[in-house]
Amino acid sequence: MNVLLLSIGNLKDVRQHEIYTDLLREFRDRGHSVYAISTYERRVNKETEFKEEFGIKMLRVKIGNITKCGTLEKGISTVTLQSEFKKAIKKYLSDVVFDLVLYSTPPITLCSVVEYIKKRDGAHTYLMLKDIFPQNALDIGILAEGGVKGAIYKYFKAKEKKLYEISDSIGCMSPANVQYLLEHNPELDASKVGLCPNCIEVQDFVLNKEEINLMRDKYGIPKDKRVFVYGGNLGKPQNVPFIIECLKTQTENKKAYFLIVGDGAEYGTLEKFFKENKCDNMRLMKTMPKDDYDRMTAACDIGLIFLDYRFTIPNYPSRMLAYMQTALPVLACTDEATDIAQTVTDGGFGWWCPSNSPKVFSALVEKIIDEPLEEKKEKSFSVLKEQFDVSRAYELIMERYNRK
């Protein structure tokens, strides 16, 4: 079977352990012929190329900048990338008939590419729904229902509806996502909507005590404190001002240490706080290579998740899996729409608090500091193996494909 994955990200190395590269290798290892289309943004100064890498055929398409750029540039590049994708497919993949096309949100503007391959090849089209856009942008004020932003919102809303319409199957990250999608899109055929959680190739990154001490020495992390780590994007969805208010409640905490690792549109806001408040129990670090980050995370005690309280759509951050792979318990500070709270609490490997009360966060931290963690660590890794192994995503996708 010929399988194609469409991605707006730059899949630099198919050997990397990430959601989409892990899924590509799973399909490859199950005997399928696997293709992937990803991007080269203009800033990297590379031309479109097509080559095989470790048994996976990679087509990287030169597009405009969609990250680390202004809103206007990002908007234009996002809208025009579908024409660049189709041009590259016609040039490099005109003789390949695809049986299955996988794609995710964001963005929703790939719908014309999906529709083109579906009509050309009769392919089964499978949407891995990772982002309910434009509603998420509306929730946190990036878009609006009126004015110029309202016109943009309506444009993307129409694109969203079209993408759902042309998708033969829609895999959602969690039960709350399934429920939300069907409630807010009553025209959808419920039979084509199901679960497809974020999944990875499970590896044991757990460190022993000696290795933990070595990593803490390497990165200057105290050995006598309970270490809370946040790793990932630092943008509007994480509500960085709330993160700062939470950190303010902990500046005098002698038993806890807070490590924030990441980058994004709001990194500068957080950096300013750290420069103005030179606290010896917290540190801000830029994004680092994934292998280094994984080992450093494994030397910490608790993984943090932050989501803006205004969200009405059930986000489900994949960074939770990185924590679970190092057997870290998880403290999720989120809105009430997401069901990630049920995952960590019902799974017995974490805690939840609403992301609109720094006082509640502070009280929970005080509780966690003195709580034994061994049982939660064991459950964190066991739930990862049971629910989020990449083989599960593969089987759920193939189950849908075989229904046709």
Confidence of residue 90 (pLDDT cuts 50, 70, 90): very high
Q: Cβ–Cβ contacts within 10 Å for residue 98, how many?
A: 22
Asked if the domains 2-201+389-401 and 209-387 are classified in one and the same CATH topology, the answer is yes
Residue 340 pLDDT > 90, yes or no?
yes
pLDDT at 159: 86
In order, the DSSP letters of 311-342 are --S----THHHHHHHTT--EEEEE-SS-SHHH
pLDDT value for 141: 87
Mean pLDDT along residues 329-341: 95
Please compute the mean of the pLDDT values over residues 1-11 and round it to a whole number.
Answer: 91
Model confidence at 28, pLDDT cuts 50, 70, 90, reads: very high
Grade residue 174 by pLDDT with cuts at 50, 70 and 90: very high
The whole-number average pLDDT for the span 116-136 is 93
Query: What is the structure's pLDDT at 364?
Result: 96
Q: Is the pLDDT of residue 126 over 90?
A: yes
75 band by pLDDT with thresholds 50, 70 and 90 = confident
- pLDDT reported for residue 107: 66
pLDDT surpasses 80 at 373? yes
pLDDT digits (tens, 9 = 90+) for 265-318: 899 999 999 999 889 999 999 988 888 898 999 999 999 999 999 999 999 999
pLDDT for 183 equals 95
Least confident of 86-100, 146-160, 175-189, 201-215: 146-160
Mean pLDDT computed over 44-64: 92
CATH architecture of 2-201+389-401: 3-Layer(aba) Sandwich (3.40)
Distances from the Cα of 195 to the Cα of 99, 351, 398, angstroms: 21, 24, 12
Is residue 206 predicted with pLDDT exceeding 70? yes
C-alpha count within 13 angstroms, C-beta hemisphere, residue 213: 4
pLDDT greater than 80 at residue 109: no
Mean pLDDT of the chain: 92
Residue boundaries of the structural domains of the chain: 2-201+389-401, 209-387
Does residue 391 carry a pLDDT above 90? yes
pLDDT at 80: 82
Cβ(114)–Cβ(125) below 8 Å: yes
DSSP helix/strand/coil, 34: strand
| Two tokens, residue 220 | 């200057």
- Is the pLDDT assigned to residue 71 strictly greater than 90? no
User: What was the pLDDT predicted at 65?
Assistant: 80
Amino acid in the structure at residue 55: G
Residue 103: predicted pLDDT: 95
The fourth-level CATH superfamily of domain 209-387 is Glycogen Phosphorylase B; (3.40.50.2000)
Dihedral sign of CA atoms 234, 240, 244, 249 in order: negative
**What is the pLDDT at residue 11?**
86
Instruction: Summarize the confidence of residues 231-260 as an average pLDDT.
Output: 94
Q: Once rounded to an integer, what is the mean pLDDT over residues 45-49?
A: 90
